[in-house]
Amino acid sequence: MIKTILVIFYTQTGQLKQVLDSLLRPPCGNAGFSIDYLEIKPQTPFPFPWTRREFLDVFPESVMEKPAPLQPIPQTVQRRYDLIILAFQPWYLSPSIPISSFLKTPEAEKIFQGSDVLTVIGARNMWQGAFACVKEKVEGYGGRICGNIALVDRAPNLVSVITIAYWLFTGKKNKFLGLFPPPGVSEADIAAAGRFWEAIGPAVLNNRLDGLDETLRNLGAAEINDALARLENRARKVFTLWANLIIKVPKIRGMLLNLFLAELVFALAVISPINSLLGVIIKSLRRKSGEC
């Protein structure tokens, strides 16, 4: 019997759609599946490329997960599927506004209820907080997360900050100054996403989604960098304080956003390298004491 998949996604740059195309059109083929797509579209599209002000302006609402109006969700996708793939990206360590808005709709509740959900993330390199938010919502609706694929920019943290800023503010995904690596998920990683289908396809066909998460982990689908996870945890707390304050005092929003930006730049330039160094020291101490 044909298995049905619903792919729910939002993408500004097209990167996440490229990942999905590579995942769902693998060299081994995907015969036996019928795939529907639901692209999440805000009523007022978010800008791309961004200006500095526009980019900063979505910070408080992203962190506090304030919903934005979306275009209607077609009735045709509000039915049972054998697998739902939810592809999203973090904005300020939270799910992007279009995705968090979708997650708050009654249609999302209906779609996720009792469903198996595979998440696919395309991020710079900090996605764990956003994933935790999405997981909580899906499970709150009675859905099951049966696996997660998170593709990231593999460049060092500071390098990827510079190159993503270049990409998001110019719209160009090429080498900044001809020197830096191209921003975002690499073409090689996008092209290699099809290998995950070799685990997903048979798991869906044989109704064996229970073991999929572990199989995907073994394939390196969502590698965790301890140093970045530590940094992200701390940053999320600070982001929540700033976002709350900015929403509560709208009169000086512009000034507060600029202060937040100043702190962000300081944290990236000073705290992030210290954190990476700490990570290296902890790793070598663990190695010396025989821990893995």
Ligand X SMILES: Cc1cc2nc3c(=O)[nH]c(=O)nc-3n(C[C@H](O)[C@H](O)[C@H](O)COP(=O)(O)O)c2cc1C
Which residues of this chain interact with ligand X, rule CB under 6 A?
11-16, 55, 58, 89-93, 122-127, 168
Q: Toward ligand X, which CB reaches closer, 64 or 110?
A: 64
* Angle at CA of residue 272, ends 269 and 278, nearest 5°: 135
Dihedral, 253, 96, 232, 195 alpha carbons, nearest 10: -160
Q: Toward ligand X, which CB reaches closer, 91 or 176?
A: 91
Tokens 């939270």: give the residue.
Answer: 94
Q: Toward ligand X, which CB reaches closer, 13 or 215?
A: 13
Q: Toward ligand X, which CB reaches closer, 60 or 201?
A: 60
Contact 24, 195 (CB under 8 A): no
Q: How far is the CB of 180 from ligand X (least distance, A)?
A: 16
Q: How far is the CB of 3 from ligand X (least distance, A)?
A: 26
What residues does 90 pair with on adjacent strands? 95
Q: How far is the CB of 136 from ligand X (least distance, A)?
A: 17
Q: Toward ligand X, which CB reaches closer, 149 or 212?
A: 149
Name the DSSP class of 267.
I
Q: How far is the CB of 168 from ligand X (least distance, A)?
A: 5
The span from the CA of 105 to the CA of 113, in Å, is 13
The span from the CA of 282 to the CA of 276, in Å, is 10
Q: Toward ligand X, which CB reaches closer, 47 or 215?
A: 47
Contact 85, 20 (CB under 8 A): yes
Strands 116-122 and 144-151: parallel
Cβ within 8 Å of residue 31, ≥6 positions away: none
Specify the amino acid at residue 223: E
Instruction: Work out the burial of residue 117: count CB atoms within 10 Å of its CB; fewer than 13 is exposed, 13-18 middle, 19 or more buried.
Output: buried
Q: Toward ligand X, which CB reaches closer, 122 or 143?
A: 122
Intra-chain end-to-end CA distance of the chain, in Å: 45
Kindly state the tokens that stand for 266. Answer: 């300081």
Specify the amino acid at residue 154: R
Q: Toward ligand X, which CB reaches closer, 93 or 216?
A: 93
Q: How far is the CB of 139 from ligand X (least distance, A)?
A: 22
Q: How far is the CB of 193 from ligand X (least distance, A)?
A: 14
Q: How far is the CB of 175 from ligand X (least distance, A)?
A: 17
Q: How far is the CB of 122 from ligand X (least distance, A)?
A: 5
